[in-house]
């Protein structure tokens, strides 16, 4: 069975982190199991977590329009966690999901870690750029 570190290594966001950085990150999150059909994030509402998918699939909607589906080794929630603004999308589980979740409190502890934050900022920029292209 895969360990938390093994799962984190598979997520592109963290693929370049050292083992020590991954170990630090692993201590700052919890594991959750969520049934299909559950809204994890609701557009326009406050988001209180960064999610890292280990297993399962979610659908992402912006303005009621399906934008993408995410699966194992994907992540979401980073934009509203980074900028402390309402969620930019609604995310609903398509299948049962096993995920790692980082609360605001846990995220604040990670914010002081420069390497992790650089990766998150890059990912946030990429996601926002992709969303702008879908709108135009």
Mean pLDDT of 18-34: 90
Nearest-10 crossing angle of helices 114-135, 104-111: 120
pTM of the model: 0.81
Q: Is the pLDDT of residue 131 over 60?
A: no
Sign (positive/negative) of CA torsion 45, 46, 50, 55? Answer: negative
Q: Are 54 and 6 in contact (CB under 8 A)?
A: no
Cβ neighbours of 103 (radius 10 Å): 15
Residue 39: which domain range? 4-135
Report the CATH number that the domain containing residue 111 is assigned in CATH.
Answer: 2.60.120.10
pLDDT tens for 32-76 read: 999 999 999 999 998 889 899 999 999 999 999 999 999 999 989
Sign (positive/negative) of CA torsion 58, 70, 9, 77? Answer: negative
Q: Is the pLDDT of residue 83 over 60?
A: yes
- As given in the structure block, the two tokens for residue 4 are 């938390």
- As given in the structure block, the two tokens for residue 113 are 């870690």
pLDDT tens for 97-120 read: 999 999 988 888 877 767 777 777
Per-residue confidence band for 30, with pLDDT thresholds at 50, 70 and 90: very high
Number of domains forming the structure of the chain: 1
């Amino acid at each position: 069975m895969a360990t938390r570190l093994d799962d984190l290594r598979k997520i592109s966001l963290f693929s370049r982190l050292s083992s020590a950085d991954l170990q630090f990150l692993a201590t700052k999150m919890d594991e959750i199991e969520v049934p299909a059909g559950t809204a994890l994030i609701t557009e326009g509402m406050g988001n209180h977590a960064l999610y890292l998918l280990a297993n399962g699939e979610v659908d992402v909607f912006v303005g009621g329009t399906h934008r993408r589906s995410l699966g194992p080794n994907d992540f979401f929630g980073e934009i509203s966690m980074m900028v402390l603004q309402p969620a930019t999308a609604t995310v609903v589980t398509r299948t049962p999901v096993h995920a790692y979740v980082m609360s605001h409190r846990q995220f604040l502890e990670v914010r002081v870690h420069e390497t992790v934050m650089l990766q998150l900022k890059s990912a946030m920029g990429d996601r926002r750029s992709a969303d702008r292209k879908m709108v135009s």
